[in-house]
Structure 1
Amino acid sequence: MNRYANSTTVTEFFLLGFPGVLPEYYAAVGTLLLFIFVILTVGNVFTIAFVSYEKSLQKPSYLIFCNLAAVDVAFGTTTMPKIIAKYLLKDETIAFHSCFIQMFFVHYLGNVTSFLLLIMAIDRFIAVCNPLRYSTLVTNHSMAIVCVVCWVIPVSWFVLILVQTAAVPYCDSNVITQCFCDQISISKLACGDLRSLILFCFSMAMFVLLGPLSFIIFSYIAIIITVLKMSNVQARYKTFSTCSPQLLIICLYYLPRCAVYANDIKGQMSVSTRIMLIMWYSLLPPLVNPIIFCFRTKEIREISCNQNQIPVCVAYLASKV
């Protein structure tokens, strides 16, 4: 006898969004989210176009920036239109299969981001701690291969997670306590026993989080030690200013993520706080990455100011649309 025979087939889910938001404030919240989405998309597309147009920026480190920008655009496009529609159009539902497709891209793109941040740390580690071998080890060709690997590696295990999660019957509540579909929120609605799948997903999340983060921490400690040993104050300042944008991005991404994962173990955080933290590391880094790259990177500032490249870049971008 099928133990799921009495379960109700769910055809759609409801996105809870931000708990406690009154209907009269839906338009304001939706407008704010739409504004964030537009700025996020335009800023990251502009970053890709700027680096693509300016030949002097086509270096390994900027190739990582472009890949991060591409991930940010893909993530925003995958997650934000539906939550914007909830608040602006009062469309709170998401189709069953659409939810699982969104779940796949949420976790897949999150893993790609984590691997790219790891590659960014390795790039800075080699540049600062082993500068004489940097041009030999880190080339555009080798960096392109590494970036492709970052995109390819997570596909297989997240396809497996997607298939296993979608195959379980869902019943009772179909309200997802989140602004988008993620594995933890969806699995709470399942009728079956998902403990083994949840354990596998959590172990994978810990591997993807702690693995890159451990090496990132190690690499930046090594960088700081190397910089402090420099006798030239100007060289020390230049090195710190080169690494600070990447370090800021890593902190914005990993600190709230660690808090959410720690909560998933202890379960002491309120639903609204968890949602806000997830939205923090999901939207804030993509939103500020172009600003950090463009205004904290001296090379980009000099090209933009001295050669007046921004209007030219806009025209170049328009020609590609």
Structure 2
Amino acid sequence: MLYTNITRIKHFFILGFPGLSPEYYGPVSALLFVLFLAIAVGNIFILVFVKCERSLHKPTYLIFCHLALTDLAFGTVTLPKIISKYWFDDSIISFYGCFVQMYFVHFIGAAHSFILMVMALDRFIAVCAPLRYTALFTNSTVSVLCGISWLMPISWMVGVVLDALTLPFCNSNVIVQCYCDHIAITVLGCENVREVQIVAFGLAMISLLVPVGFIIFSYFVIIVAVIRMSSSEGRIKTLSTCTPQLLITCLYYMPRCFVYLANNVGFTFSVPVRIVVVMLYSILPAVVNPIIYCFKTKDIKENLKKKFLIWKVNINTKLDKI
């Protein structure tokens, strides 16, 4: 059932990618499943590897672990249902199940944004106050700041969900998206939709603009500090330590900022294109981030090389004994 006249519907219908031909359901579900596996394997690997390597028990890598946890959680919350839709033709999600998914989508996104701000603070102190870095930015400090980043969105996201639950739903129950988010749900309301969306938009801007503002400021100061360095070797070394953080931050914020700016200047996407763009900037960073951690971070890369060499030596030794 796609439409209903009652004020409290019992379930929602996940539309997914509109206009997709049934002959592509199999390949799309397989692609989404591969992406889900990549997110799970990559981010669990980072968590386990940092946990097991005592030399990586440093503030920077603890922040990477928190980011990996948010990426893993987001993929787990969003992908199984859309995979199920195209793999098993299961498009139905319960009324309250949709709101639960909406809560975690926005909660995890806000937590990720604040953790990126903690990561920017890490580089800011490392570059601008290197002699005091170990005293100012300890593992305990990181744990507290990242803990706050997780805890802050909890309360206001509960308020956002409860506010959306007060809406009467009396028209379509089709979620024009691959997962339940605030806009996709609230547009289905019959009245007071604008008021609910304005409150949610204000809170979303806090979780987006506050971290973005601090990140832009911190990296501006870092760039100025690097330019003032007399040694070109020192400038390159300092910038290389910031490269992973910059790549991770740009992957998360730039597509979102582009979409918001495009909408504000009057450039609108068609519904299918918008859904694909949202899925790309939601899922791809979670896939790519573990690769950045491994190949753009010196300590992790060196530890991986050592592990690989030890494994290679052990294999060769076993072969020689045969």
> Same-fold call, TM > 0.5?
yes
- 1:1-321 matches, within 5 Å, as 7-262=6-261, 265=264, 266=266, 268-308=268-308
Deviation at 1:291, TM superposition (A): 0.3
Contact 1:303 1:309 in 2 (8 A): no
Paired amino acid for 2:95: F
Aligned-pair identity in percent equals 51
Superposition RMSD in Å: 1.6
Q: Quote how far apart the aligned CAs of 1:309 are.
A: 8.4
Q: Distance in 2 between matches of 1:64 and 1:221?
A: 21
Q: Name segments (4+ residues, structure 1) moved above 4 Å.
A: 263-267
Which secondary structure state, in structure 2, belongs to the residue aligned with residue 128 of structure 1?
helix
Q: Would you say the 8 A contact 1:14–1:92 is kept in 2?
A: yes
How far 1:264 moved relative to its partner? 5.5
SS in 2 for 1:13: strand
- The residue that corresponds to 1:319 in the other structure is none
Q: Deviation of residue 122 (structure 1)?
A: 0.8
Specify the alignment match of 2:319 in structure 1: none
Contact 1:121–1:219 (8 Å) recurs in 2: yes
Change (3 A) 1:163 1:264: farther
Indicate if the aligned counterparts of 1:9 and 1:170 stay in contact, CA closer than 8 A: yes
Secondary structure (helix, strand or coil) at the match of 2:179 reads: coil
Structure 2 length-normalised TM: 0.91
SS at match of 2:82: helix
Distance apart, 1:232 and its partner CA: 1.8
The answer to whether the Cα contact below 8 Å between 1:122 and 1:219 also exists between their aligned partners in 2 is yes
Unmatched 5+ stretches in structure 2 = 312-322
Shift of 1:286: 0.7
* Contact 1:30 1:87 survives alignment (8 Å): yes
Helix, strand or coil: the match of 1:308?
A: helix
Separation in 2 of the partners of 1:221 and 1:228?
11
Secondary structure, counterpart of 2:50 in structure 1 = helix
In the aligned structure 1, how far is the partner of 2:168 from the partner of 2:131? 57
- TM-score between the two structures when normalised by the length of structure 1: 0.91
Q: Matched residues in 2 for 1:310 and 1:14: separation?
A: 52
Structure 2 CA distance for partners of 1:71 and 1:260, relative to 1, 3 Å:
same
Deviations 1:128-150 (A, max 9, x none): 11111111110001110111100
